[in-house]
Structure 1
Amino acid sequence: MKQNNFSEEVKNAFISFSELILEFSTERETSLKRKDFEALLKVLVDNIPFIHSGSVLLQDVDGSFYYIAAYNHDYKLLEKIRFKKEEMFMRRFKHVYIIKRKSIDFIKELSQKVGNIDDTLKESVKSIENIKAFVSIPIRVQRKIVGFFNLDTWEDEYTFEKNNFLPFAEMISDLLSLSVERFELIKSVKELNEKINKVVMFDPVTHLPNYKVLGNYFDKYVSLAKRDSSNLYLIKIKFENIDEVDRKHGFDYGNNILQKFAKIIEKNIRRSDILVSLNRESFAVLAISKSFPYNIFDRLNDSIVKFINSQNLDLTCTIGISEYGVDGKDVDSLINSAEEKSKPVKESKSVKV
């Protein structure tokens, strides 16, 4: 019996597939999801007469492979199935490969895996048992296989060869790999940027925001204070002799003191206040208040005194406060003014400085 020539259908389906991949890859930065893979499968299955179903396998963090999508198969059935890494990384799966039902046990193994699942899904097995052959299309990221895009035929196990489908399958593999690798690259760049931001925006010892973050928030807090008819204050707290502690007890010990100290400050300010680490020895609190923030100042003073006494160390700490508009209108002016007004913490309550 003469085989139909489906070259035009295959070409048109591939163009539609390419356009859809391009759309996914250019309109967003998040990786392909189940619905995206299903849409890609649908384009090929619905438009190529000799392809009747399809599925997509992706590698999980533990190395195993799971079904992320399926078309003309019951996904509820396939989502329960997993393949071990060694089951997938056979030689025949490293390239585009046509797998025939009678030639290997892979499809039988799949049916057996299905057989171990809930009886209510047994009817759904028929779509798998109908498969006469499928083409396994690897998805690669930096030459490493991370998934497989599978297209099934239910009619003739030689249909992929008769219709010269392998060159198209290779191009599908290249397109999918480029798209997935792009999203992986974006993900890696974002993760790297997050790490860089943590280095640039946060103090490595206390993990508090740093001076740069204070500058970013300053203008916003000035606007908030004006809108609320309130005042903006900057409280500066400084360990005068942390260097001496480092020399006597080591940096690890000094770091531990600073981490505890930062938590003490954090517990004694309001959620709306901004706490930052200016440098190894200094901290700043940005606070909005209708009047001089005696309560915050007193809580900080008393808690710092208790902390110093609990450490059995000769620690010296000062605290000072400045007001926006009175002592300056920029971050540096307020920091310098608070430094000039700083006094050693003491047992008694605060007086306006």
Structure 2
Amino acid sequence: MTALKEYQRLECTGLWRDTPDAQRREVIVAFGDATLVISDARNTRALAHWSLPAIIRLNPGEQPAIFAPGTDAGEALEIEDETMVAAIAKVHALIEARRPHPGRLRTVLLGIVLALVIALGLFWMPRTVIEHTSAALPHVKRQEIGLAALADMTRLTGLACDAPEGRAALARLSTRLLGPGGRIIVLPEGLDATAHLPGGLILVPREAVEDESNPDILAGKILAEDLRRQAGTPMADLLRHAGLRATLRLLTTGDLPGESVAGYGETVLAVTPRPVDLAKLVGRFKAADVSSTAYAYSVDPSGEAVLALIETDPFRTTSAPELLLSDTDWVALQGICDG
């Protein structure tokens, strides 16, 4: 038997010398279970036994191969047989694979930890930078960025409706419903429902203005969209679209590259409005001194799905203390896209 299962017996000839100055002699080399047996080629008398694990090759990569029984040994064995050379190399490879490697586990663990740190950084840092930047921006800068996104969106919707008489009525409606920080923008096409942009910008489709018979219905759509804006993260959403590099530039210089908002309009136009909390919507109607009943029935003519808006309408049995829009303003607003 030999040290390798694939060989029942493995022998070859070689040239051996027992000291550096001795004459080389032909020998028989036998691959054993744990040793390499070197015997005289003429009478088969054993001359030396070399431990297989201790054997070293003195000329790696060269032919014929020259081996020694150890680092300080004077003996040397020259072998040309490729099968024998490969068998000795395989034994050494197996021994090396089974040998403990104290530093390998440490290296693997360090590699895993480093990979986790990098992955965590790639996942956590962009989100943190975007959230921090979004929270740190003043309202004026938010509205500036929102208007930049609107300019990109007008490629698809056309320019905002801006007839002078309607613009004045829209400004009064915006102040009444959204306060000084908000702004209502009417778009002529491409917008199927209300939407919003950073900076308190509420986007309204032309049809929502022209096709409604009651300004209270339009008010309800605007108030509901403003609740969606407050419940969402419009600035952070836009910065995620812009990317980390653009966000870092905004954070460090105060300017967002104009090209970073390109294409964001498509994202906004594709959003389906989410349902809003009816209790909060009732509160917004009350704060704006607007009746919620007309809007409720426009959402559900049966009234069942919006019963809260009807039953808790603060002006269900009385008129609002202040008219939302005069007839003149309402007519002007409905013609805002005709200018």
TM-score higher than 0.5: no
TM-score under structure 1 length normalisation: 0.28
Higher-Rg structure is 2
TM-score, length basis structure 2 = 0.29
Q: Judging by fraction of residues, say which structure has more strand.
A: 1
